[in-house]
Amino acid sequence: MNNEKKHRHPIRYDPDEKFEISILWKILLFLGPFMAGILLFTIYPFINAFLMSFKENYSILRDTFSGWGLGNYRKVLNDPIFVSGLKTTVKYVVIVVPISLALSIVIAVLLNNAKRFKAILQTAYFMPLVTSTAAISLVFRFIFANEGGLVNKIITTLGQSQINFLGTNKWSEIVLYIFGIWNILPFTIILLLAGLQNIDPQYYTAARADGAKTFDIFTNITVPLLSPTIALVAIVNSISAFKIFDYVFQLYNKPGPGYNLYTIIYYIYEKFGGTKPQYGYAAAASIVLFFIIAVFTLLQRVLQRKTDY
Amino acid sequence: MEVRIEDLVKRFGDVVAVNHVNATFESGKLIALLGPSGCGKSTMLNMLSGILPVSEGRIYFDDQDVTSLSPDKREVGLVFQNYALYPHMTVLQNICFPLKIKRIPKKERIERAKEYARMVHIDDYLDRLPKELSGGQQQRVAIARALVKEPKLLLLDEPLSNLDAKLRVEMREEIRRIQRESGVTTVFVTHDQEEATSISDYIMLMKLGVMQQFAATRNLYNDPANLFVADFIGNPTINQLHGIYEEGSIRADGFAKAIPIGNYKIEDGTRIVFASRPESVLVSKKSGETEMEVEETYISGKDTLCVLNAGDGFLRAYVDNEDAPEEKTAVRVSFRKKGVFVFSEESGERYYE
Ligand SMILES: Nc1ncnc2c1ncn2[C@@H]1O[C@H](COP(=O)(O)OP(=O)(O)OP(=O)(O)O)[C@@H](O)[C@H]1O
Ligand SMILES: [Mg+2]
């Protein structure tokens, strides 16, 4: 009898003890610090920003505002600077996410099949992940520098004229994309590799028996069976790409050489600081970004349900 | 298509999974590859399909040497133990897949896929995903997928082992029907001797990578090449008495009297195993060469199974219910000519009269 109870409730080893209360305490003890952190640094600021976005002429120092309303949103959405920031951000997402994803899929599949150089390759693709992006951005600045930069050296050796990579709008944008793709690859590859490990090798055997060659197997078996992971990675990468700011800052110390890489977060950042802060605008812009990201998150849910075999 | 394997060997490191096997599979026949777990059946099948390279030996399809051909060039259809249906494709897409790989136009491949879906009675489920099918239905899809490319050789690796007993019997008859209908040479792997004997034309029995016997199914039962074959085939298993051969009799271990078994080409004093099918043991109250005691009796249907005490060993025999002897009484026992074999105890080799 006693034994049976023990089995059914492995935590409640003594049925007479007032376990409900003691367990509640344990739960609070373990989860408490984490929950406090979330409450303090995520939920509270979020609610605050949400409220702030509806407060007109809000001043953080005096904590005063002239009234509730949609004024901030109207201003932000009609602000050509915000709209161009949104465009720059969306362009970044649309370029960096698919390219990095395609590259990662190919690299992950190759890595998954590589037997000989696995150890070396593993270190290679882990490198950017464990190196700080600040350090990598420094290296990038060296590589693309005007005088003595690696790429320009190669170009001039080939007899072409030097390119101002970091100082022109067109090229600074491309350098940013390369930098973004470079940084996102390792994490993406690792997730995709995990997904590849989950594919039962019998499907490859079956496909080979059905006459499929390597490329047919890749397109007809590997990619579809990997699609849940691909969907997940695409969404996660998109979300983080929408928040692009640090890469731009680390490469150029400003929103690109000609203010051409001005992103949404840059807008929020500027409206929040500077000489004439406009907190309400910053809050409204954050909430707009939040909704864009929320839509992507929902999309991920739908996609994952669709690809759940 | 006729399949000929010559001196086939497969090694995995030190393990010899298939050891110098020679055989010819006649065109249009159903051949069962039978043997206990780990004896190399799957290895053999995978070498026939081209998934596994051979270590030694040759494989011929008709007169063509296919030993080094890749699976897609061999025109074989393969059904896996767990079917390996592509989980992201519907039934129709699964069956179409081999044709899609061959770049056959969409309209034609759908037509052909539907034809085979009808043949295996799965045409009502074309739009379902594999996870929405029962085990038996999945198996039919796997067979259709293997047949749709009109292979010259159909290979099935324990296709029934995931099914329940009733479905297993149903599906093996289905496989037989489909094989007859399509006329394709078929190799069917199983470790269940009853399954093998019930549907195959020929059986290849293997043990530890070595082919023990390859013969027409009936002959395997009636004319086993060695003790392993005699023991593996037949349910209930064959009776075995160990003892010493002496002038047409066996002195069974622990049994007082010599049991006459007929004259074999054996030196007196050799240790032998005397094997007899239960239906070849004749039990009667009066006539018979040897007296034995009935240890136990069990009624099974219209017959009674008698367990007869023969020293260290025992014999099982069937008697009509009306003629069943009492337990612990003496009966007289003799043996039919058919279904009685003598083997060397040491090597298991068969001795002939
Ligand atoms: N890839 C491999 N590497 C090493 N040894 C292997 C490999 N595949 C099979 N073997 C060995 O070869 C032998 C035969 O294996 P095989 O899979 O052909 O057996 P089987 O007759 O199909 O058995 P089962 O009825 O359990 O499926 C076994 O001893 C097995 O351990
Ligand atoms: Mg096997």
Burial (Cβ within 10 Å: 0-12, 13-18, ≥19) of residue B31: buried
* pLDDT tier for residue A181 given thresholds of 50, 70 and 90: very high
Weakly modelled stretches of chain B, pLDDT under 50: none
Q: Of A224-238, A267-281, B31-45, where does mean pLDDT reach its minimum?
A: A267-281
Q: Is B159 found in the same domain as B43? A: yes
- Inter-chain touch A208–B149, beta carbons under 8 Å: no
The domains found in chain A, sorted by start residue, are 15-67 (no CATH), 73-307 (1.10.3720.10)
Mean pLDDT of A159-177: 88
- Inter-chain touch A309–B97, beta carbons under 8 Å: no
- Inter-chain touch B84–A225, beta carbons under 8 Å: no
Q: Listing from the earlier edge strand, what are the strands of the sheet with B56-61?
A: B15-25, B3-12, B56-61, B64-65
Q: Is B250 found in the same domain as B162? A: no
pLDDT of residue A308: 62
The partner residue sitting opposite B88, judged by closest CB among A202, A211, A225, is A225
Q: Is B107 found in the same domain as B12? A: yes
pLDDT of A44 strictly over 60: yes
Q: Is B226 found in the same domain as B249? A: no
Q: Is B325 found in the same domain as B224? A: no
- Pick the residue from chain A with its C-alpha nearest to B151: A210
Domain end among B182, B203, B232:
B232
Q: Is B167 found in the same domain as B52? A: yes
Q: What is the CATH number of the domain that holds B273?
A: 2.40.50.140
Nearest to A202 by CA among B83, B145, B15: B83
Mean pLDDT of A274-297: 86
Q: Is B243 found in the same domain as B201? A: no
- Pick the residue from chain B with its C-alpha nearest to A306: B88
pLDDT of A300 strictly over 80: no
- Fill in the amino acid letter for B110: I
Q: Is B198 found in the same domain as B95? A: yes
Q: Is B344 found in the same domain as B277? A: yes
pLDDT of residue B141: 93
Nearest CA to ligand 1 atom 6: B12
pLDDT of residue B239: 94
A3 vs B222, which has greater pLDDT? Answer: B222
pLDDT of A103-149, one tens digit each? 999 989 988 887 777 777 767 767 767 788 888 888 998 999 888 88
Mutate to test the pocket of ligand 1, among B15, B19, B80, B205 (most ligand atoms within 8 A of CB): B15
pLDDT of B143-152, one tens digit each? 889 889 888 8
Q: Which residues 196-225 on chain A approach chain B with CB closer than 8 angstroms? A: 200, 202-203, 205-213, 216, 220-221, 224-225
pLDDT of residue A7: 47
The partner residue sitting opposite B88, judged by closest CB among A200, A205, A309, is A309
pLDDT of residue A166: 87
Q: What is the CATH number of the domain that holds B202?
A: 3.40.50.300
Rounded to a whole number of angstroms, the distance from the CA of A301 to the nearest CA of chain B is: 18
Nearest CA to ligand 1 atom 7: B12
* pLDDT tier for residue A16 given thresholds of 50, 70 and 90: low
In angstroms, the Cα distances linking B157 to A301, B78, B161 are 39, 8, 9
> CB of B109 within 8 Å of any CB in chain A?
no
**Residue B56 domain boundaries:** 3-232
- Look up residue B142 and give its two tokens: 């796997």
Domain end among B199, B232, B265:
B232
pLDDT of residue A8: 47
**Ligand 1 pocket, CB under 6 A:** B 12, 15, 17, 35, 37-43, 191
Chain A contact set for B138 (CB, 8 A): none
pLDDT of B286-319, one tens digit each? 888 888 999 999 988 888 999 999 989 999 999 9
Rounded to a whole number of angstroms, the distance from the CA of B156 to the nearest CA of chain A is: 12
Q: Is B201 found in the same domain as B135? A: yes
Mode of pairing for the β-strands spanning B15-25 and B64-65? unpaired
Burial (Cβ within 10 Å: 0-12, 13-18, ≥19) of residue A152: buried
Atom of ligand 1 nearest to the CA of B13: 4
Nearest CA to ligand 1 atom 25: B37
Q: Average model confidence (pLDDT) for chain A? A: 84
CA distance B153 to B174: 18
Q: How many domains does chain B have?
A: 2
Q: Is B144 found in the same domain as B20? A: yes
- Inter-chain touch B51–A208, beta carbons under 8 Å: yes
pLDDT of residue B105: 93
pTM (predicted TM-score): 0.75
Domain end among B180, B214, B232:
B232
Mean pLDDT of A66-82: 85
Per-position DSSP letters for chain A, written without gaps between them: -HHHHHHH-SS--STTS-HHHHHHHHHHHHHHHHHHHHIIIIIHHHHHHHHHTTEET-BTTTTB-SEESSHHHHHHHH-HHHHHHHHHHHHHHHHHHHHHHHHHHHHHHHHHH--SSHHHHHHHHHHHHHS-HHHHHHHHHHHT-SSS-HHHHHHHHTTPPP--TTTSHHHHHHHHHHHHHHHHHHHHHHHHHHHHHTS-HHHHHHHHHTT--HHHHIIIIIHHHHHHHHHHHHHHHHHHHHT--HHHHHHHSSSSTTSTT--HHHHHHHHHSSSS--HHHHHHHHHHHHHHHHHHHHHHHHHHHHT--
Q: How many CB pairs under 8 A join A and B?
A: 61
Q: Is B118 found in the same domain as B174? A: yes
Q: Which residues 90-129 on chain A approach chain B with CB closer than 8 angstroms? A: none
pLDDT of A205 strictly over 70: yes
pLDDT of A177 strictly over 90: yes
